Structure 1
Amino acid sequence: MTGILNKCPDRFVETEIDDEIVVMDLESGNFFSLKDTALDIWRLVDGTRSPADIAAELANDYDVAESELADDVAAFLDEALTAGLLEAR
């Protein structure tokens, strides 16, 4: 997966509750509870970063090697893309 990631705000609503963001897919009605690393990834999707940029920033924030979290970042982003919550350009 390459390209810059954008959220598709016309496809979902979100609300922050305590230490999580709950996202509801308006088309399917599915809910996603984003906590911890998923929440950090979601917040980094701002229309200026690629998946590699997000993984690099998280690796820096968590002080770990990028290779340690690249698969988890990719899995989350793939799920959000498949759900239509994100798009890559």
Structure 2
Amino acid sequence: MSFRADSIPRRREGADGQRFGEDFVVLDPDGHMLRGLNETASRVWELVDGRRTARDIASVVASEYGVDVERVLGDCLSFLERLLGQGLLDAEVHR
């Protein structure tokens, strides 16, 4: 599966993220850790709620960081693909 702008990502059951000081850690459903998410990546993770599309997520991030939404959308889609490949997300295509 590949994410598109109208895809609705959702966290896999059992996947969770936590902030510990300046670090953001994501646990997969098996308890393996993905560390070192930067501020933008952790914000994307926080916005994945099973209701927002990838474009919605990119729009929020673009607004918060004052950057172009199309640039953020490309980066957001790439990051979501990585999370999908690591078993952290599922996606419903289309809203």
Task: Give me the TM-score of the superposition, normalised by structure 2.
Answer: 0.77
The CA deviation string for residues 30-55 of structure 1, in whole angstroms up to 9 with x for no partner, is: 52332210011001001111111111
Cα distance change, pair 14–44 in 1 and its aligned pair in 2 (3 A): closer
Identity of matched residues, %: 31
Paired positions, count: 88
Query: Tell me, what secondary structure is at the counterpart of 1:9?
Result: coil
Residue matched to 1:80: 83
> What's 1:5 paired with?
9
Shift of 1:16: 1.8
Identify the structure with the greater strand proportion: 1
Counterpart AA for 2:46: R
Runs of 4+ in 1 over 4 A off after TM superposition: none
| Unaligned 5+ runs, structure 2 | none
Query: Which ranges of structure 1 fall in alignment gaps of 5 or more residues?
Result: none
The CA RMSD over aligned residues, in Å, is 1.9
Q: Which has the higher helix share?
A: 1
- Offset of 1:70 from its aligned partner? 2.1
